[in-house]
Structure 1
Amino acid sequence: MTYIDLLSYAAGILVVISLLPQAVKSWKIKSTRDISLSRYVIYVMGLILWVIYAVIIQNGPVTVMI
């Protein structure tokens, strides 16, 4: 497994896990009115890793998708 593989896995995991803080917050306060800041921080970190991955593998469509 190369560092490029690890980078793509990390990006995918962060984007998926980014949904959890909002779900936990909504569950705890029994409301969906408030927004979890940590959800967006984790999501943006995942997107940044996706962009880095796309640049490394020179894949324009992945970069545009984001």
Structure 2
Amino acid sequence: MSLDTHKSEVRGGEPEEVPFRSNRFFCVGHKWYFSTREGFDSGPYADRERARVGLDRFLHIVSLLPGTSRVH
């Protein structure tokens, strides 16, 4: 029986070795933000759930851009 219950998956277009991934959400002074791979931080949001909705919207918009074939 394996103790490793978290399995990392390779994303499309990435090398076999999975890069370190941290949580995109963070809290500063009771306000929530999310980060993108490009180093963009978005916020503040009133709570983590609103930050998650903001990230979902951001990812949707990015997916509509020409030449964008991967999730950020």
| TM-score strictly above 0.5 | no
TM-score, structure 2 normalization:
0.30
TM-score, structure 1 normalization:
0.32
Higher RCO structure, 1 or 2 (CA under 8 Å, sep 6+): 1
Structure showing the higher strand proportion among its residues: 2
